[in-house]
Structure formats: structure tokens, C-alpha cells
Amino acid sequence: MNDSFENKVHCAAVAGWWTLLIALIVFLLAWFAYLTLLSAQPAWILPLIGPDVTWAKLATISLWFFACMKFFLLLWALALVWLTLWAKQLRKR
């Protein structure tokens, strides 16, 4: 197998894992900010979002966003596991 291709796949896997780690950190920071804002319920948040928005609606939308983001991150992690295993198989050959 071409060593250059093997190195590119390995570097892509490593870069993907680092990017996933950063995305998970941003996700956790956003989740803690969401929990903090939802418990405090500051008055300046709702006018920023728009008229006719309630805290219950904002909580529902936010939970759907975080659920979809978790699903996306799971798919990303599964793709990175496949890429890492592929890089390992290329290295063996």
C-alpha cells in the first residue's frame, strides 16, 4: 500500500478525533450555559429571540437542538472509529 495514502488516512483520523473533542467541549459549555440561563430566566433573553416566545417553547426548542446535536456527534464518532480502524488496517499491510 502507498505510504503516503496511509499517512493521510491516519492524519485524517487524528484530526477528526481532535475536532470531535473540541466539538464535545463546545457542546458541554453550551449545555451548561443553557442550564444556567433556563434556571435564571433573565428577562433580556426572550426579546432577543422574538415575539411570542415563552420559556417553555425555548426549552423545547433547545432540547431538540441538543438531541439532534448529540445524534450528529454520535454519527461523527462512529465514522471516526471506522476511519481509525481503516488506518490501522492500512498500517498492518
Residue 55 near residue 38, CB atoms below 8 Å: yes
Work out the mean pLDDT of the chain and round it to a whole number: 94
pLDDT band at 1 (very low <50, low <70, confident <90, very high): low
CA distance 48 to 69: 22
CA distance 40 to 54: 14
pTM: 0.84
Query: Over 60: is that where the pLDDT of 65 sits?
Result: yes
Q: What is the rounded average pLDDT of the residues 40-67?
A: 93
